Chains A and B, each alone.
Chain A
Amino acid sequence: MSAQESTLVLSPPAALGGSFARLGAIFLHALRRGGALAAFFLLWELAPRLGWVDAAFLPPFSQVLATAWKLLSNGQLTQHFAASLGRSAAGFALAIVAAIPLGLAIGRYRLFAQAVNPLLEMFRNTAALALLPVFILFLGIGETSKVAIVFYGCFWPILLNTITAVATVDPLLVKSARTMGLSPVRLFRKVILPASVPTIFVGVRLAGAMSVLILIAAEMVGAKSGLGYLIIYSQYNFQVPEMFLGIVCITVVGLFINFLLVALERRLTAWNTHRSET
């Protein structure tokens, strides 16, 4: 969509002054893509400075950036960042490793899937954060409880999507492969598994978003490091710029994870056109 529009802008003066028009087009493109963002940060900068909001509660964006520099140079920010990323990556990765094979196994045996489905529905609808006190009770406030709760939150979307993926593979593809005399094992490996990848990935992306959300909440409740801890600790001590810095950092982490997953999904499921269309 946006690429089409920019070529429209580019095409008329292509012969004469082409580079000039191109610069203009790039500017327009940047404006369209980043205009709203720029306006948002500008408002954030100006509102406290012009006295529209109390600067003690909402410091100008430049002050948040200055704080970022300060915490970066004394190593604090890196430490919190690393703690958070490490936990969410560990929980997320463990969930992928555990949930996909289990989901494949459950999805393959329909009777078993039917039998465990009510149980799975119940677990899925038990909000992970509601279980946070239980996790802390059993596993303490160290790393284990945080990784475990992220694992728990990520596990269900991946598991349920994997089960659905296997159960909803186009029966005609299975039939077609069966006519070629494929053994059940080969049929699974060569047809059911690749056909399931797009739907499994829907679960993985859901879990990616989930991992950040749950981790931050967990760090706010019981932790001694991490971005969630940074936010809540700064708030207690009325270090408002630090608090906002923590919030901005979480957004960056979320964007980064989503970017990675989208890129990976493109690579794995380039053949699946209707997904990119919707």
Chain B
Amino acid sequence: MTVKLSLQNVRKTFRSRHADEAFVALDDVTLDVEDGEFMVVVGPSGCGKTTLLDLLAGLTRPTGGQILLDGKPVAGPSLDRGVVFQQYALFPWLTAQGNVEFGLEAKGAPSAERRETARRFLGLVGLAGFESHHPHELSGGMKQRVAIARSLAYDPEVLLMDEPFAALDAQTRETLQCELLRIWRVSGKTIVFITHGIDEAVFLGQRVAVMSSRPGRVERVIDIPPEFKAGEDIRAHPEFGRLRHEIWRLLHEDGERAREDERDARRLAVAA
């Protein structure tokens, strides 16, 4: 297996308006994502998940360290990475077809090819027949399907997903999780999936990177053995429960530590 996406000692700080010292969002994040791998990043809110995604997408630059895609440093946003957002981010004035064609147009594909490719990918996400619908005519789940089709259609090297199913109801979320696994197997894409849901992480990922908060760090990377995922209702499998608990414990300990830190900081502030 070759490494597709490599984060090496990535650090990101923001200048804060109130404090003198810079706010450290990510500190020393190191992670390798292999070609074709489904990597899930799970962490509590405020651990810098979105900062991490912005860095991977090339929307912001790391303060320290580097991010390599196929061995080359990420220099900015580009069509070699596709991003799927929690709030869909579909263009409301375009139809489903138009939205999927948008990225293809950015890529410079000729119009006949765009039409054909967009239809094919809408079909892949199960939306054949909805090509001419506008986003406001689609349910949340369908909108997210369009967004996934849009990102896949221009054939990026890596698909980045920022809590894509968090805004959906439980039923739709479960359906889309299964669909995503199917699409991932069919397309063979490398996926980096960011979530705060532990169940979702164990269900989807081949590996799960558990982040800690303040500053954001990769605490541990947990392998999810593929064997038990062959069964029917894998959430009922004892191994699923064990992994789930392991991640929960890591996040929980981190939460406790963060709360203690906060208490200390408050005590210091009161003393001073």
Interface positions of A (Cβ within 8 A of B) = 172-173, 175-182, 186, 190-191, 194-195, 197, 269-273
Contact = CB atoms under 8 A, between A and B. Distances in A.
Interface string B69-106: 00000001111011101010101111000000011001
B136 A271 contact: yes
Contacts of B78: 181
A181 to B, nearest CB: 5
A172 B87 contact: yes
A181 B80 CA distance: 9
Given A172-B85, A178-B77, A191 B154 contact: no
Most buried by B among A173, A180, A186, A197: A180
Interface in B9-61: 57-59
Interface string B234-247: 00000000000000
Contacts of B214: none
A272 B92 CA distance: 7
A33 B66 CA distance: 68
A180 B57 CA distance: 9
A178 B59 contact: yes
Contacts, number: 53
B16 to A, nearest CB: 21
Interface in B109-161: 134-136, 154
- Chain B contact residues, majority secondary structure: loop
Interface of B: 57-59, 76-79, 81-83, 85, 87, 89, 91-94, 102-103, 106, 134-136, 154
A179 B93 contact: no
Contacts of A186: 106
Nearest to A174: B89
Contacts of A270: 134
Nearest to A272: B92
Given A194-B93, A271-B134, A175 B59 contact: yes
Contacts of B77: 178-181
Given A175-B59, A176-B85, A186-B106, A181 B92 contact: no
A179 B57 contact: yes
Contact of A176 (B83, B93, B134): B83
Interface of A is mostly: helix
Contact of B106 (A175, A180, A194, A197): A180
Nearest to A269: B93
Given A179-B57, A179-B77, A173 B91 contact: yes
Give the 6 A-B CB pairs with smallest separation, nearest first: A176-B89, A179-B83, A273-B136, A271-B93, A181-B78, A180-B106
Nearest to A183: B106
Contacts of B87: 172
A273 B134 CA distance: 10
A272 B83 CA distance: 24
Contacts of A271: 92-94, 134-136
Contacts of B89: 172-173, 175-176
Nearest to B92: A271
Contact of A179 (B59, B92, B135, B136): B59
11 contacts: A172-B89, A173-B89, A176-B83, A176-B85, A176-B89, A177-B102, A181-B76, A186-B106, A270-B134, A271-B136, A273-B136
Contacts of B76: 181
Nearest to A194: B93
A272 B58 CA distance: 31
A181 B83 contact: no
Contacts of A181: 76-79, 106
B90 to A, nearest CB: 8
A64 B57 CA distance: 70
B106 A182 contact: yes
A172 B83 CA distance: 12
